[in-house]
């Protein structure tokens, strides 16, 4: 059978052969041949978004909640440039995406043609790799390579730019089995000698701690299972970054909660005082470390990461292990078991009693009183009323994101979609669509702030069109809450441009989109309103009017160490010095 076909058909065939079942996209002149092929088949579902940024975030939500790569199809020029924020977001959070962009025909490249942009040039620093395909004969092979690169090693977004004449021309199709074997084969097995050294250190450590991150989630469900076994068997406390929530269950007995700038007191104190830190798939981000020269001063550090460039980038490592978390943890458990499952039981008991003392601070305590809903209370009630459900949570970026991380409990990986590295406001709304597409029967909630949510609210149209029953849980304080908080702490309470005047009526907005709107402002009505949201079968915009000046605590102020946390209003005065103020 001859496999001659047009480039456009090749794109669709290659996607099918890669097991793609859904594409998020937006048509335009330079991708019309591909859209024509999509029209003539039924295997791949196309979700038409309202803005290309939304397509990329939706694909991220899909990828993060399934472990499969997300696929995006957009046109040249503005289609590609609109996708850049989402692509950068995926790069920062190591989300596998394959982004296909149309391009003006090869003979017009460089002529400033209509809707021409140097897409590979623009996206070179924000993709893991990208390709401009100038010959149809190499198109299918390139797409297969793209999937390989996006999903192997440290995952990330890749982009394939396809000129329109390449889509029209015919050539031989290459199946994935016959595609050129890529020389890109990242190391996945960790060095056994170093793993053994780490086990030796673990056996004698007096104050060990696991510090886990998104790499555990990216490694797949097996990694989380191994991690749980390791934690339970050794009895060592565990904390996680924002990106790693869910890899160890929030109900687990060794769980300390999230660490970092708005992490829990006990988690940060334990990080500061530990003598052995075992970093699994996290990257010592500045939100985690705080002041780097005061970061965990007395510890030896192990770092398990699939990306060699993460190791010794920020924090010097005593046990560097390059490898895939699943493989490294398999080896680590095997070595530990074969050496007799030893830990320093006595010291661990003392360590846990120290941790229990920190827990007594009850850093997340708040008082709900009066007629105004506290945002913490809203999230805590959401947790209480939804925790039994088959639940997926997305967030936007800001205070609400931190409250969601603090007050929601995640029992499993792939259930928490948030923009960690790039901190992209406008991420959560479209991401929730991608999650719902992948899990049609699940309860998908986007915990949002009203300011973030407005950034991509046009995607409610997509939710309504595809009957995606996403719940938009908006904590509305009529402020850019996190900006306002920093202005209060750092800029003499001069609230420059952090107040959104003229917000829409979200209930009417919901009606205008053709979905349900719920507004609640009285704490007494909150539970009923949340239940109404959960039980409604379509998409909901939930407008929860909350206390306008609530700050997010605990907080490690910029330029401070883990043991210098702010716990509440009383401790915030002059907390950040001039040096800290320059940090973001």
Residue numbers of the site for other proteins (CB under 8 A)?
Answer: 120-121, 124-125, 128-129, 132, 149, 153, 183-187, 191, 193-194, 197, 307-309, 311-313, 316-320, 322
**Closest to other proteins by CB, 41 or 312:** 312
CB neighbours (10 Å) of residue 204? 13
The question of whether 115 is a catalytic residue gets the answer yes
Least gap, CB of 116 to other proteins (angstroms): 17
Least gap, CB of 491 to other proteins (angstroms): 28
**Structure tokens of 29?**
């002149």
Task: Cis check for the bond before 394: say yes or no (omega within 30 of 0).
Answer: no
CA distance 538 to 515: 7
**Closest to other proteins by CB, 19 or 121:** 121
The question of whether 114 is a catalytic residue gets the answer yes
Element (H, E) at 188: none
CA distance 554 to 258: 11
CA distance 488 to 484: 6
From 243, 455, 482, 519, active-site residue: 482
**Closest to other proteins by CB, 66 or 196:** 196
Q: Identify the sign of the CA torsion 562, 568, 574, 580.
A: positive
Q: Are 468 and 433 in contact (CB under 8 A)?
A: yes
**Closest to other proteins by CB, 291 or 303:** 303
Q: Are 558 and 581 in contact (CB under 8 A)?
A: yes
Least gap, CB of 303 to other proteins (angstroms): 9
DSSP result, 516-544: EEEEE--GGGHHHHHHHHHH-SS-EEEEE
Least gap, CB of 339 to other proteins (angstroms): 17
The question of whether 319 is a catalytic residue gets the answer no
Least gap, CB of 348 to other proteins (angstroms): 24
**Closest to other proteins by CB, 259 or 322:** 322
**Closest to other proteins by CB, 118 or 488:** 118
Least gap, CB of 280 to other proteins (angstroms): 16
Q: Are 202 and 276 in contact (CB under 8 A)?
A: yes
CA distance 41 to 45: 9
CA distance 146 to 123: 14
Q: Identify the sign of the CA torsion 367, 368, 373, 376.
A: positive
Least gap, CB of 311 to other proteins (angstroms): 5
**Structure tokens of 160?**
């394939």
From 4, 16, 114, 356, active-site residue: 114
Least gap, CB of 328 to other proteins (angstroms): 13
**Structure tokens of 495?**
């609230």
List the one residue out of 417, 342, 560, 361 whose CA is nearest residue 66: 417
The question of whether 40 is a catalytic residue gets the answer no
CA trace torsion 231, 236, 242, 248 (10° rounding) = 20
CA distance 343 to 208: 10
**Closest to other proteins by CB, 181 or 570:** 181
Least gap, CB of 512 to other proteins (angstroms): 43
Least gap, CB of 312 to other proteins (angstroms): 6
* Strand extents, DSSP E, 441-489: 443-449, 471-476
CA distance 474 to 546: 9
**Closest to other proteins by CB, 124 or 467:** 124
**Closest to other proteins by CB, 78 or 308:** 308
Q: Are 74 and 101 in contact (CB under 8 A)?
A: yes
Which residue shows structure tokens 């990216």?
Answer: 218
CA distance 574 to 557: 10
**Closest to other proteins by CB, 316 or 342:** 316
Q: CB-based contacts of 483: which residues, under 8 Å, 6+ apart?
A: 398, 498
The question of whether 368 is a catalytic residue gets the answer no
- At 447 the three-state DSSP class reads strand
From 37, 52, 116, 450, active-site residue: 52
User: What's the gap between Cα 487 and its chain centre?
Assistant: 26
Tell me which residues are annotated as active site: 52, 114-115, 164, 482
């Amino acid at each position: 059978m001859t496999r001659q076909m047009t480039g456009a058909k090749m794109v669709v065939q290659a996607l099918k052969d890669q097991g793609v079942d859904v594409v998020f996209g937006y048509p335009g002149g330079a991708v019309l041949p591909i859209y024509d092929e999509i029209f003539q088949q039924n295997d791949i579902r196309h979700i038409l978004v309202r803005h290309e940024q939304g397509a990329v975030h939706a694909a991220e939500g899909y990828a993060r909640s399934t472990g499969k790569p997300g696929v995006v199809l957009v046109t040249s020029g503005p289609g590609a440039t609109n996708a850049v924020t989402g692509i950068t977001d995926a790069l920062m959070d190591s989300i596998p995406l394959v982004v296909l962009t149309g391009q003006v025909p090869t003979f017009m490249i460089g002529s400033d043609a209509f809707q021409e942009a140097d897409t590979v040039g623009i996206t070179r620093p924000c993709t893991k790799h990208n390709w401009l395909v100038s010959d149809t004969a190499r198109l299918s092979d390139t797409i297969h390579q793209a999937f390989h690169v996006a999903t192997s090693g440290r995952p990330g977004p890749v982009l394939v730019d396809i000129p329109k004449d390449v889509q029209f021309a015919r050539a031989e199709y290459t199946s994935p089995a016959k595609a050129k074997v890529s020389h890109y084969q990242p190391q996945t097995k960790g060095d056994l000698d170093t793993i053994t050294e780490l086990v030796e250190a673990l056996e004698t450590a007096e104050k060990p701690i696991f510090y886990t991150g998104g790499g555990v989630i990216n490694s797949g469900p097996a990694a989380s299972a191994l991690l749980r076994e390791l934690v339970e068997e050794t009895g060592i406390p565990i904390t996680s970054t924002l990106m790693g929530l869910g890899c160890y269950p929030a109900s687990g007995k060794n769980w300390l909660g999230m660490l970092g700038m708005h992490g829990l007191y006990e988690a940060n104190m334990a990080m500061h005082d530990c003598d052995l830190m075992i970093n699994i798939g996290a990257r010592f981000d500045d939100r985690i470390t705080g002041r780097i020269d005061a970061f965990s001063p007395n510890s030896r550090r192990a770092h398990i990461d699939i990306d060699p460039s993460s190791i010794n980038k920020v924090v010097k490592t005593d046990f560097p292990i390059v490898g895939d978390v699943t493989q490294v943890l398999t080896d680590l458990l095997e070595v530990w078991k074969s050496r007799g499952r030893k830990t320093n039981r006595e010291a661990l008991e003392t360590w846990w009693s120290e941790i229990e003392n920190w827990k007594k601070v009850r850093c997340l305590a708040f008082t709900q009183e009066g007629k105004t809903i506290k945002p913490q209370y809203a999230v805590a009630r959401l947790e209480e009323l939804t925790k039994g459900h088959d639940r997926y949570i997305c967030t936007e970026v800001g205070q609400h994101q931190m409250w969601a991380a603090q007050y929601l409990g995640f029992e499993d990986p792939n259930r928490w979609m948030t923009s960690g590295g790039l901190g992209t406001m406008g991420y959560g709304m479209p991401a929730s669509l991608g999650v719902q597409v992948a899990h049609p029967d699940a309860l998908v909630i986007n915990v949002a702030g009203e300011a973030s949510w407005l950034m991509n609210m046009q995607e409610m149209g997509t939710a309504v069109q595809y009957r995606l029953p996403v719940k938009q849980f908006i904590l509305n304080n009529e402020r850019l809450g996190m900006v306002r908080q920093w202005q209060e702490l750092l800029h003499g309470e001069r609230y420059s441009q952090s107040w959104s005047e003229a917000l829409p009526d979200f209930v009417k907005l919901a009606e205008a989109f053709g979905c349900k709107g719920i507004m609640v402002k009285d704490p007494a009505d909150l539970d009923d309103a949340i239940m109404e949201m959960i039980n409604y079968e379509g998409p909901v915009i939930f407008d929860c009017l909350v206390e306008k000046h609530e700050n997010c605590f605990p907080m490690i102020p910029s330029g401070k160490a883990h043991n210098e946390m702010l716990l509440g209003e009383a401790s915030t005065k002059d907390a950040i010095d001039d040096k800290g103020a320059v940090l973001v």
